[in-house]
Amino acid sequence: MDALVVSKLTKKHGSHVAVDGLSLALRSGEILSVLGPSGCGKTTLLRCVAGLEEISSGAISISGRVVATPTMSVPPERRNIGLVFQSYALWPHLTVFDNIALGLKIRRISKGDIRIKVDDTLRKLELSDLVKRYPSQLSGGQQQRVAVARAIVLEPEILLFDEPLSNLDARIRERVRGELHDLLRKLAVTTLYVTHDKTEAMAISDRIVVMRNGAIEQVGDSQEIYERPASTFVAEFIGRYNLIPVRPWSPESGNASLMAGRRRLSIASETEEGVGVVGFCPEVVQFGSSDQTENMFVAHLEKQTYFGNTIEIIGRIGGSAITVNAVRPVAGETFSFHVPPDQLLFFGSSREVGSESEADINPLASD
């Protein structure tokens, strides 16, 4: 049985539709991240699951039990969920032990059982040595573990995270992200994790839901979403995809050919009639492939930056800015590279590509 099922959920704030007919399922024991830019509806979705927002239409079920419809809403405390807030929301005047025990006290659990449950949770999260400290005496990572401990001591069916790392600086965030990844794997708790940070989502999740304008753009694991984005929005949001306008000249299934400027491109995906775009990741390009007749791009050089194990090269093909990775600098005002057919994606006319002429798209092409 799925731990969480959201069915055709819509949430409106007046005339604004924050979540628009969204459906998803969270498997038992899975870590599912909801990723998207500010205002896409991801936090509203989490608040609806938590019972902090009433829904406009659709339904939400937890472990087969319906907890929300437009006419019925089970209170948050009866949904058997754990919620880790963006600010951690630890009580500054309570010790680590008392912060973790607070929810159990509210439930009127006996003192003996509280001691057993809290001690067990402290051991799981390696917090036993910090039991008498106050939040102000803890590091960011330790505060996060206390917030997680406070949630899991109640034995929730689902653990909900609302951008828990957004208040940390970059250096601490990277370390805490690794700790959180290990912790969630160790606990094996079903987790719904909301974030706007793609690196965070890719590092922590089993699957990722990418949202835009209240709806789902794509669902998949990190590799699938990065290497095979379903739309130009996902391509640009998840990776640094290079997107270049093209005109298909013989659309067909299989190994289709297109025209970018006056150069032929061969891609291993289906194309369609009309103007579209092709996309590729910076790391898939191949330099020194002058014997290739297809999938060769020629770009104006704008900037090169040395990053130790790679050189980031920024250029322009017509009106399109591109970024590629290389192992050594390129010389001259222009540079060329080859993209293998299976690394070149066609997005059809899903992106506004303007009115570039073939010469504008690749003015240096001679084929």
Beta strands in 291-353 (DSSP E): 296-306, 311-317, 320-326, 334-338, 345-346
Percent helix / strand / coil, the chain, rounded to 5: 30, 35, 40
Residues ≥6 apart with Cβ < 8 Å to 340: 284, 286, 295
pLDDT of the residue at 94: 93
pLDDT of the residue at 107: 86
pLDDT of the residue at 361: 37
Cα separations (Å) of 226 from 27, 219, 346?
Answer: 22, 11, 15
CA dihedral 295, 301, 302, 307 (to 10 degrees): 80
> 203-243, pLDDT tens digit by residue?
899 999 999 999 999 999 999 999 899 999 999 898 889 99
Beta bridge partner(s), residue 326: 311
pLDDT of the residue at 67: 96
Tokens of 271: 């194309």
> 170-197, pLDDT tens digit by residue?
777 777 788 788 888 888 889 999 999 8
CB 349 within 8 A of CB 272: yes
Residue located via tokens 């067909």: 252
Residues ≥6 apart with Cβ < 8 Å to 271: 248, 251, 252, 256, 258, 346, 348
pLDDT of the residue at 281: 92
How far apart CA 144 and CA 165 sit, in angstroms, is 9
pLDDT of the residue at 249: 67
pLDDT of the residue at 289: 59
Beta bridge partner(s), residue 195: 35
Query: Within the chain, which residue ranges are assigned CATH 3.40.50.300?
Result: 4-227
The segments of the chain whose pLDDT lies below 50 read: 253-254, 351-367
> Under CATH, which number does the domain 4-227 receive?
3.40.50.300
How far apart CA 156 and CA 79 sit, in angstroms, is 9
pLDDT of the residue at 118: 92
pLDDT of the residue at 262: 64
> 45-58, pLDDT tens digit by residue?
999 999 999 999 99
